[in-house]
């Protein structure tokens, strides 16, 4: 895919703008929306964007920054999963702390928001504190969101403990949306002003991009990514009224701005410097776009990818039909079809041929992968391995110019793995998945030069596109993510089994 975004230009512009904002205050609380690390959505819609651009930006300013992580107690109690990693929010918090430390960023503390003594959350607090992580707990703010006098009082934000910070920029981030970042920032503002310090609040929200047109595919892709939240982009009416300038924002920010402005003015005792929700943002990502057509095309592909993802989530029961219908409407708005994703047609055609040969009216799993040179290969499930494993082997064989007739993995290696899986461990499904096949390949690579050459080609799969005619197991999905392959699936299960995969 053509490069459409200049990463270095973005870093320079963004760091300069944040420093300009912090110069107005003793301390700036910077709420980070979206993902601080591994922002795969931004990477997909902005070709050339570094998925860790935001944390690298913070690393440039590390002497001035410390980080506070917010986690909503309710998300811990219901074991909410971060979809791109397949881990719960509490585990993602631990991962986030480790990753931030790896970038030499100072993690100040973790704030548990809307805490009311929930048992699983209490265990998580104990786990953090016994590993030396400072933890603060915030209860539900009395009077929030409309009773400003109560909110900005000792009965509201005053009930929260003050988070001790020492650096001029405090980044407030979280594993996902609805974690209480804004409330934490405002609570800190209240305490800072009570202590006689001039503190400020700003928001770092990458999407929607305020200086890109409302109906640009880049901004529509944000709506596709947040269909479950019912986010809708709109022209910021406050910005238009104040500056006669068109800026794009989204419904939640626009709806809460009047109350948020009143809360800030009540805390500071002065008129807010912000005339609009767009004013509050420090996002400069739009200035990094260097090829608008490349960004448009990448964004359209992301919208299709999100359509498939939402379809699978609906099939699994994670979202309501209304959410899936909204993703379909977004597709129709841009006149996009599922088949506009180039790997969809070949995967479905392979599946249809397998079904025709078998003479059975059942789903035949098949996966298609598009390599970075445009070549499309397919793989099918068999009694030995599933379709994801087959397509990966076919891809590395092609990249290594290895004949299709040559076996990369010796039966001497495969049979003990199958026996361990089905007989010793009692798994009813003896078919090997993608991870198991890759482990077998790595074992063979120790003694087989051909297998070694194939193994070395795995890194060339990063950035490739793939599609499966059936819903993937969570394990296969994670392996494709780790390989850097963007995979989608038709919302169909491979079997009628409700628990066992046969």
pLDDT for 422 = 84
- Ranges 25-29, 249-253, 354-358: which has the least confidence: 354-358
Express each pLDDT in 220-271 by its tens digit.
999 999 999 899 999 999 999 999 999 999 999 999 999 999 999 999 999 9
pLDDT classification of 411: cutoffs 50, 70, 90: confident
pLDDT for 193 = 95
For residue 276, is pLDDT > 70? yes
pLDDT classification of 501: cutoffs 50, 70, 90: low
- Please answer whether residues 40 and 331 qualify as being in contact, where contact means their C-beta atoms are separated by less than 8 angstroms: no
Summary mean pLDDT of the chain: 93
* Of 496, 449, 447, residue with least CA distance to 470: 496
- Whole-number CA gyration radius for the chain: 25
Q: In the CATH scheme, what architecture does the domain 342-489 have?
A: 3-Layer(aba) Sandwich (3.40)
For residue 44, give every residue at least 6 positions away whose Cβ sits within 8 Å of its Cβ, in sequence order, or none.
298, 301, 302, 305, 486
For residue 416, is pLDDT > 60? yes
What percent of the chain stands above pLDDT 70? 98
Express each pLDDT in 41-79 by its tens digit.
999 999 999 999 999 989 989 999 999 999 999 999 988
- Please answer whether residues 101 and 107 qualify as being in contact, where contact means their C-beta atoms are separated by less than 8 angstroms: yes
Where do runs of H (alpha helix) occur along 227-291?
Answer: 237-243, 251-268, 277-280
- Please answer whether residues 274 and 261 qualify as being in contact, where contact means their C-beta atoms are separated by less than 8 angstroms: yes
- Please answer whether residues 145 and 256 qualify as being in contact, where contact means their C-beta atoms are separated by less than 8 angstroms: yes
* Of 139, 137, 69, residue with least CA distance to 109: 69
Instruction: Give the H or E element holding residue 353.
Output: helix 344-358
pTM: 0.91
Contacts 24+ apart (CB under 8 A), 489-494: 489/308, 489/312, 490/308, 490/311, 490/348, 491/308, 491/311, 491/312, 491/314, 491/315, 492/315, 492/363, 493/315, 493/363, 494/363, 494/365, 494/381, 494/470
pLDDT for 500 = 58
* Of 227, 399, 414, residue with least CA distance to 323: 227
What percent of the chain stands above pLDDT 90? 78
Express each pLDDT in 102-148 by its tens digit.
999 999 999 999 999 999 999 999 999 999 999 999 999 999 888 99
The mean pLDDT value for 422-447 works out to 90
Residue 367: Cβ within 10 Å count: 33
pLDDT classification of 418: cutoffs 50, 70, 90: confident
pLDDT for 502 = 45
pLDDT for 188 = 97
Pairwise CA distance, residues 86 & 76, whole Å: 14
Domain residue spans in the chain?
Answer: 7-210+243-288, 342-489
pLDDT for 499 = 66
On the CB side of 364, how many CA atoms lie within 13 Å of its CA?
A: 19
Helix, strand, coil % in the chain, rounded to nearest 5: 50, 15, 35
The 3-state DSSP class for residue 288 equals helix
For residue 1, is pLDDT > 60? yes
Which CATH number, 3.40.190.10, 3.40.1160.10, 3.10.630.10, 3.40.50.12780, labels domain 7-210+243-288?
A: 3.10.630.10
pLDDT for 84 = 67
């Amino acid at each position: 895919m053509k490069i459409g975004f200049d990463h270095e230009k973005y870093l320079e512009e963004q760091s300069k703008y944040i420093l300009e904002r912090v110069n107005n205050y003793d301390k700036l609380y910077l709420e980070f929306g979206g993902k601080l690390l591994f922002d795969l959505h931004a990477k997909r819609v902005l070709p050339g964007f570094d998925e860790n651009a935001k944390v690298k930006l913070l690393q440039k300013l590390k002497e001035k920054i410390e980080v506070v992580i917010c986690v909503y107690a309710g998300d811990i109690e219901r074991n909410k999963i971060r979809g791109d990693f397949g881990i719960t929010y509490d585990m993602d918090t631990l991962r986030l702390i480790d990753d931030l430390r790896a970038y030499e960023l100072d993690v100040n503390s973790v704030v548990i928001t809307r805490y009311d003594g929930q048992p699983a959350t209490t265990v998580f607090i104990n786990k953090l504190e016994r590993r030396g992580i400072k933890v603060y707990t915030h209860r539900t703010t009395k009077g929030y969101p409309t009773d400003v006098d109560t909110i900005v009082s000792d009965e509201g934000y005053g009930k929260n403990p003050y988070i001790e910070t020492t650096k001029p920029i405090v980044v407030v981030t979280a594993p996902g949306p609805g974690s209480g970042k804004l409330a934490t920032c405002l609570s800190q503002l209240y305490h800072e002003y009570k202590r006689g310090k001039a503190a400020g609040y700003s928001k770092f929200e990458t999407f929607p991009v305020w200086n890109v047109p409302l109906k640009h595919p880049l901004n529509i892709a944000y709506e596709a990514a947040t269909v479950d939240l019912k986010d809708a982009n709109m022209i910021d009416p406050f910005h238009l009224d104040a500056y006669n300038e068109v800026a794009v924002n989204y419904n939640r920010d626009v709806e809460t701005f009047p109350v948020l402005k009143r809360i800030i003015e009540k805390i500071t005792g002065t008129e807010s410097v912000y005339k609009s929700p767009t004013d509050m943002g420090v996002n400069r990502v739009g200035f990094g776009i260097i090829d608008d057509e490349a960004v448009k095309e990448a964004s359209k592909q992301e919208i299709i990818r999100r359509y498939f993802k939402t379809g699978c989530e609906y099939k699994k029961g994670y979202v309501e039909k209304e959410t899936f219908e909204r993703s379909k409407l977004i597709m129709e708005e841009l006149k996009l079809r599922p088949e506009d994703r180039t790997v969809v047609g070949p995967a479905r055609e392979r599946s249809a041929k397998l079904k025709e040969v078998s003479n059975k009216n059942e789903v035949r799993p098949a996966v298609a992968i598009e390599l970075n040179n445009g070549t499309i290969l397919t793989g099918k499930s068999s009694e030995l391995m599933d379709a994801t494993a087959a397509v990966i082997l076919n891809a590395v064989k092609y990249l290594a110019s290895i004949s299709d007739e040559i076996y990369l993995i010796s039966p001497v290696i495969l049979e003990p793995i199958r026996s361990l899986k089905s007989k010793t461990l009692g798994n009813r499904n003896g078919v090997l998945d993608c991870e198991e096949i890759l482990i077998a390949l790595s074992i063979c690579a120790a003694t087989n030069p051909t297998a070694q050459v194939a193994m070395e080609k795995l890194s060339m799969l990063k950035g490739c596109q793939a599609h499966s005619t059936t819903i993937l197991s969570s394990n296969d999905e994670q392996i494709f993510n780790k390989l850097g392959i963007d995979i989608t699936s038709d919302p169909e299960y491979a079997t009628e089994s409700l628990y066992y995969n046969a």
